[in-house]
Structure 1
């Protein structure tokens, strides 16, 4: 389902409201900002022979919707952790001046280990392309759980250690929560934790492992069979040509089950309105 088909479905439904056309047009402009970042990222990666692949909802959109999911806005990609330094160097040299990338390697106060790419003039807090680094895992099931938990915990600590209390929340509950975590991690050494994180994520080679996860706060969410992410191919969509895993059907089935099934219209509209509200505050 492309964006025009989605809009037509909304127009014919009982959920249609007078301001939806304007909201949808603004939302499409937000989508286009990130899509342009993805096109530029694709160009840099192809030029420098860096293997990347669309991930999560971005992969789902490319396969099911022939482009971006019409009611979603952000973009996710996978890059092997072993290619991180090459990627950073390639972006420094070849990324178009209209965009910038943000990660601990360019700002030691970056609160997340993953990389984000955004159009200049916009914060990476909400307008972003997320680069998730794929890492190998131990072979034994219980060891994988302990490993992913340790990766997640280090990412969690960094997040709350470096998050801005002023910018991150407007609620008293949020202030209290973040303050308590900051107090708990007051004496954590960010540089030491970064080195430990790097060592941990380099322990298991992706090609030598049966399972992979991502090197970030979501490390415990999935155990991805590496056979589903080691090989990539190019896919042409309505939004352009991008790289996807060759085994995208198996990966999408693992992540979403019946991935061709479209959510009910009410939920799609709610998701779009939620994203639009967040983006509008970020302008």
Structure 2
């Protein structure tokens, strides 16, 4: 999904998200936690020295150990400006990675209008988990994780891909609804499924493997080798600096091929918010 923004609004969105990133970095520095810019944020850092011009979000990733430590810290410490959104802190949150939200703001995406969960400005924080070096075992593990992730989403929301413009196959929608209501008959089904998800995410946590991936979303696409994650460096991102893998070229080529070339407009994506509210201001309704 893609929308062309009013440039002033988009700049303010980026600055608000950057404020969240700065807070996140402060926590990581204070507690010696490892993180790095990921996905479009990594691409924007290298290609543009900041945000991709039409992008409207920030993605960071952490090794599982650092990720879990960050979650513990955020749940323990009171904060008047920011809140952690994970399945444990929001009973209506259906995703399997963390969002760090800014309180008293709104960033309501078109596809999530009916989700009824927290909706403030945020950055996405993804955990990287070990996977087997054997390709066959790794693919089987990824498929198993994907199954439990889908079940978790079904247990939390009754609408598949809420608000998607592309439409959902009627058969898929019916199956989703049936599973949703069946799972509601099982006490704490969502919590049980979430426990299973975490069991499989961390199955190889104590194994000495050469690579890890983002098991919570498109795992085959986002494989990264240990040496690429262990060696980080700082690069300019707008008017601050962020950590990136030292061998960012290998990471970006594996995922974006010729990553320095701008994609055509029809292949660009962003989050298409329908409402935004900046700190201390009234809600702004954006054009659909």
Relative to the length of structure 2, the TM-score reads 0.78
Contact 1:102 1:124 in 2 (8 A): no
Moved more, 97-106 or 144-153: 97-106
Cα distance, 1:263 vs structure 2: 2.6
Contact 1:101 1:115 in 2 (8 A): yes
d(CA) in 2 for partners of 1:196 and 1:66?
A: 39
d(CA) in 2 for partners of 1:219 and 1:170?
A: 22
Residue 226 of structure 1 corresponds to: 226
Q: Closer, same or farther in 2 for the Cα pair 1:41/1:178, shift >3 Å? A: farther
Structure 1 residue 76 and structure 2 residue 71: aligned? no
Aligned residues: 257
Residue 182 of structure 1 corresponds to: 177
1:48-127 pair list within 5 angstroms: 48-92=31-75, 97-123=80-106, 126=109, 127=121
d(CA) in 2 for partners of 1:237 and 1:190?
A: 38
Residue 7 of structure 1 corresponds to: none
Structure 1 residue 248 and structure 2 residue 242: aligned? no
Cα distance, 1:69 vs structure 2: 1.0
SS of corresponding position for 1:195? helix
Cα distance, 1:95 vs structure 2: 7.5
SS of corresponding position for 1:33? helix
d(CA) in 2 for partners of 1:53 and 1:158?
A: 27
SS of corresponding position for 2:274? helix
Per-residue Cα deviation, 1:71-122 (whole angstroms, up to 9, x for no partner):
1011111111223331013224568522222001323442111001122134
d(CA) in 1 for partners of 2:25 and 2:12?
A: 20
Q: Closer, same or farther in 2 for the Cα pair 1:213/1:125, shift >3 Å? A: farther
Residue 39 of structure 1 corresponds to: 22
Moved more, 79-88 or 111-120: 79-88
d(CA) in 2 for partners of 1:247 and 1:206?
A: 25
Q: Closer, same or farther in 2 for the Cα pair 1:170/1:201, shift >3 Å? A: closer
Q: What is the alpha-carbon root mean square deviation over aligned residues?
A: 3.0
Per-residue Cα deviation, 1:10-43 (whole angstroms, up to 9, x for no partner):
xxxxxxxxxx8x8111111112221111111111
Cα distance, 1:167 vs structure 2: 11
Structure 2 regions of 5+ residues with no counterpart? 110-120, 278-288
Q: Closer, same or farther in 2 for the Cα pair 1:168/1:267, shift >3 Å? A: closer
Residue 112 of structure 2 corresponds to: none
Per-residue Cα deviation, 1:35-64 (whole angstroms, up to 9, x for no partner):
111111111111111111100010111111
Structure 1 residue 262 and structure 2 residue 251: aligned? no
Per-residue Cα deviation, 1:128-154 (whole angstroms, up to 9, x for no partner):
311111000012111111101111111
d(CA) in 1 for partners of 2:227 and 2:206?
A: 10
Relative to the length of structure 1, the TM-score reads 0.79
SS of corresponding position for 1:229? helix
